[in-house]
Amino acid sequence: MRSALLACAAGLAAAVTFAPAGAADRPPPRLIVAISVDQFSADLFAQYRQHFTGGLRRLEEGAVFPSGYQSHNMTETCPGHSTILTGARPARTGIISNDWFDQNVGRADKQVYCSEDPAAPGSTFKTYTVSAHFLKVPALGDRMKAADPRSRSVAVAGKDRAAIMMGGYGPDQRWYWTGKSYTFGGKAPPAAAGAAINADVAAALARSAPAMPLPPVCEAQSRAVPVAGGGKPVGTGRFARAAGDERGFRTSPEFDGATLALAAALRREMRLGEGPAPDILAIGLSATDYVGHTYGTEGAEMCLHVLALDQLLGEFLRGLDATGVDYVVMLTADHGGNDIPERQNEHAVPGASRAADLLSPGTMGRALAAKLHLAGPVLLGSAAFGDIYIDKAITGPMRQRVLREALAAYRAHPQVAAVHTRAEIAAAPSPAGPPETWSLVQRAKASFDPDRSGDFVVQLKPRVTPVFDTSHGYVATHGSPWDYDRRVPILFWRKGMTPFEQPLSVETVDIMPTLAALIGLKVPAGEIDGRCLDLDAGPGSTCP
Ligand SMILES: [Zn+2]
């Protein structure tokens, strides 16, 4: 056995020999591992990074962009994931939010889901047929396969919309969780790994899970906080779960562990990174989002979860190391998040609130119907913010009247920051420059699709949580144009790279051209919104 000292000396020699060579001089990596941690805000990353010892610690030894921006307005899962591997903002991907209204769709239900094909027989908003139908641009895996059909593209995620938006049109394997198991989509026959992992997960779900031990760093956060709106107090959970409790399973580190196990098994079976062309493995880890929605972001639950995720990622990366494959890993998030207003008010942020019921389009629509003597819903929309549509049955001068009245009512509400009409958004200057400097209407423009967006867009004031009924289990959310929801970490790591940190803002649309450059893939100018981030810490460059 070599002595530790000898190993250390060899390491020093290697450092002396190879350190001056920039990342730009290296051959391309054989495998891209692109990870999205749902709702992993820049704030969570900053809060816990001093405690990381696992995979997130490793990624901190690469290129660290702690202030990445999901720069658009509707900071939800589907639009966020649509930016990560396409290089395009939602205005270009067409994924304006998780769902929107298409009053011309040929079915009774006019609400459409971002990852469905509404033309598929039997597809409805609630029982949808999963599809990349609404995605208007290719993902990195699509581009890699177009450049060299020997490239393999695999997407694995807890949510279908994460797998669809990161996997694009034609992944070889696409797997996502449906409540009891991971289900398959994709061009190739399903890998055997899917059935094997599903059997493991079924066995794990059938058992109960004990409460996780609370690490000392989480102890101060373990305190019950009452929640307004009918929900139960939060803050002291430790992920104890009854046998068969699927909701408890997906709202815990167990879920991310299962998704990572499936990703690792697919890599093994397909020998990703060992083929004649570079491969891509996109992974969507969804549990952080469920933990945030269910418990808020500042309780013991999120503390426990983030530290467990760090360990799970460490184990996953060690497994990749053991293969000897030269891989690059990128980790980011689809959006940030925000704690419950009740705890914010205790934690030095007085004024945090829950949005009034009046702001939901259904309630506002009923108020307008009574005032204007109209029948029908008047307004259509899925939340107390974002895109709102006027019922298409209302035409002529009355339609203009409804728009005027709705704008006046929303704009007069003390929880509303801004309301923009379609015409105002279309006429606004395109977003440009650092994303934190964009005006509110520019943020809305980054989410604007003339075929899909509403008649007007509502933006709530900062620290207004648009969840007023917490009795169904969700107490906190995201989706706003404010930085707690827009800012996410963007981390790149490859063995041997010289670490650096760039605290100034970059965008998640920069990720795709950055990864494409590493493998020498050309992306035609004008097709994307992002730019290549130079991952070489010195004067060299990894960009074309
Ligand atoms: Zn999300």
Render 181-209 in DSSP notation, one character per residue: SEEEESSSPPPHHHHHHHHHHHHHHHS-B
Could you give the C-alpha distances from 146 to 84, 134, 185, 519, in angstroms and in order?
Answer: 19, 20, 19, 14
* pLDDT at site 6: 40
* pLDDT at site 7: 43
**Average pLDDT, stretch 483-494?**
98
Put residue 374 in one of left, alpha, beta given phi > 0 → left and psi -120 to 50 → alpha.
beta
* Angle (deg, nearest 10), helices 140-147 and 511-518: 30
The distance of Cα 379 from the centroid of its chain, to the nearest Å, equals 28
Find the angle CA(510)-CA(511)-CA(514) to the nearest 5 degrees: 85
Given a cut of 90, whether residue 364 has pLDDT beyond it is yes
CA–centroid distance, residue 135 to ligand 1 (Å):
17
Given a cut of 80, whether residue 13 has pLDDT beyond it is no
CA–centroid distance, residue 536 to ligand 1 (Å):
30
CA–centroid distance, residue 301 to ligand 1 (Å):
17
* pLDDT at site 22: 46
CA–centroid distance, residue 253 to ligand 1 (Å):
16
Q: Residue 34 — very low, low, confident or very high, per pLDDT cuts 50/70/90?
A: very high
CA–centroid distance, residue 542 to ligand 1 (Å):
30
Q: Residue 24 — very low, low, confident or very high, per pLDDT cuts 50/70/90?
A: low
CA–centroid distance, residue 526 to ligand 1 (Å):
28
Q: For residue 26, report the phi and psi dihedrals to the nearest 5 degrees.
A: -85, 155
For residue 335, give the 3-state DSSP assignment.
Answer: coil
* Angle (deg, nearest 10), helices 253-270 and 287-295: 170
CA–centroid distance, residue 68 to ligand 1 (Å):
15
**Per annotation, catalytic residue among 77, 93, 251, 508:** 77
Q: Residue 349: what residue type?
A: V
Spatial separation of the C-alpha atoms in residues 39 and 485, rounded to whole Å:
8
* pLDDT at site 19: 34
Question: Mean pLDDT over all residues of the chain?
Answer: 95
CA–centroid distance, residue 478 to ligand 1 (Å):
8
* pLDDT at site 20: 35
Q: CB burial class (10 A; 0-12, 13-18, 19+) of residue 214?
A: middle
CA–centroid distance, residue 392 to ligand 1 (Å):
30
Given a cut of 50, whether residue 10 has pLDDT beyond it is no
* pLDDT at site 519: 98
Given a cut of 50, whether residue 14 has pLDDT beyond it is no
Q: What is the pLDDT of residues 88-137, one digit of tens each?
A: 999 999 999 999 999 999 999 999 999 999 999 999 999 999 999 999 99
**Average pLDDT, stretch 255-278?**
98
CA–centroid distance, residue 159 to ligand 1 (Å):
9
Spatial separation of the C-alpha atoms in residues 196 and 161, rounded to whole Å:
23
**Average pLDDT, stretch 315-340?**
98
CA–centroid distance, residue 335 to ligand 1 (Å):
6
Spatial separation of the C-alpha atoms in residues 35 and 287, rounded to whole Å:
13
Q: What are 233-236's contacts with CB under 8 Å, separation 24+?
A: 234/294, 234/295, 234/296, 234/299, 234/301, 234/340, 234/475, 235/295, 235/296, 235/299, 235/300, 235/301, 235/343, 236/299, 236/300
Contact between 501 and 64 under an 8 Å Cβ cutoff? The reply is yes
Given a cut of 50, whether residue 62 has pLDDT beyond it is yes
CA–centroid distance, residue 442 to ligand 1 (Å):
22
CB atoms within 10 A of CB 49: 17
CA–centroid distance, residue 477 to ligand 1 (Å):
9
CA–centroid distance, residue 511 to ligand 1 (Å):
18
Q: What is the pLDDT of residues 63-86, one digit of tens each?
A: 999 999 999 999 999 999 999 999
* pLDDT at site 23: 56
Q: Model's pTM, two decimal places? A: 0.95
CA–centroid distance, residue 336 to ligand 1 (Å):
8
* pLDDT at site 533: 98
Share of the chain above pLDDT 70, in %: 96
Spatial separation of the C-alpha atoms in residues 164 and 181, rounded to whole Å:
17
Given a cut of 70, whether residue 3 has pLDDT beyond it is no
Structure-token match 């205005």, residue found: 91
Contact between 416 and 455 under an 8 Å Cβ cutoff? The reply is no
Contact between 231 and 470 under an 8 Å Cβ cutoff? The reply is yes
Contact between 182 and 262 under an 8 Å Cβ cutoff? The reply is yes
* pLDDT at site 4: 42
Q: What is the pLDDT of residues 293-304, one digit of tens each?
A: 999 999 999 999
Contact between 422 and 450 under an 8 Å Cβ cutoff? The reply is yes
Going by their DSSP bridges, the two strands 173-177 and 182-185 should be labelled as: antiparallel
**Average pLDDT, stretch 5-19?**
39
- Sequence length of the chain is 544
Q: Residue 12 — very low, low, confident or very high, per pLDDT cuts 50/70/90?
A: very low
Q: What is the pLDDT of residues 376-387, one digit of tens each?
A: 899 999 999 999
Contact between 327 and 29 under an 8 Å Cβ cutoff? The reply is yes
Can 77 be counted among the known catalytic residues?
yes
Q: What is the pLDDT of residues 186-209, one digit of tens each?
A: 788 999 999 999 999 999 999 999
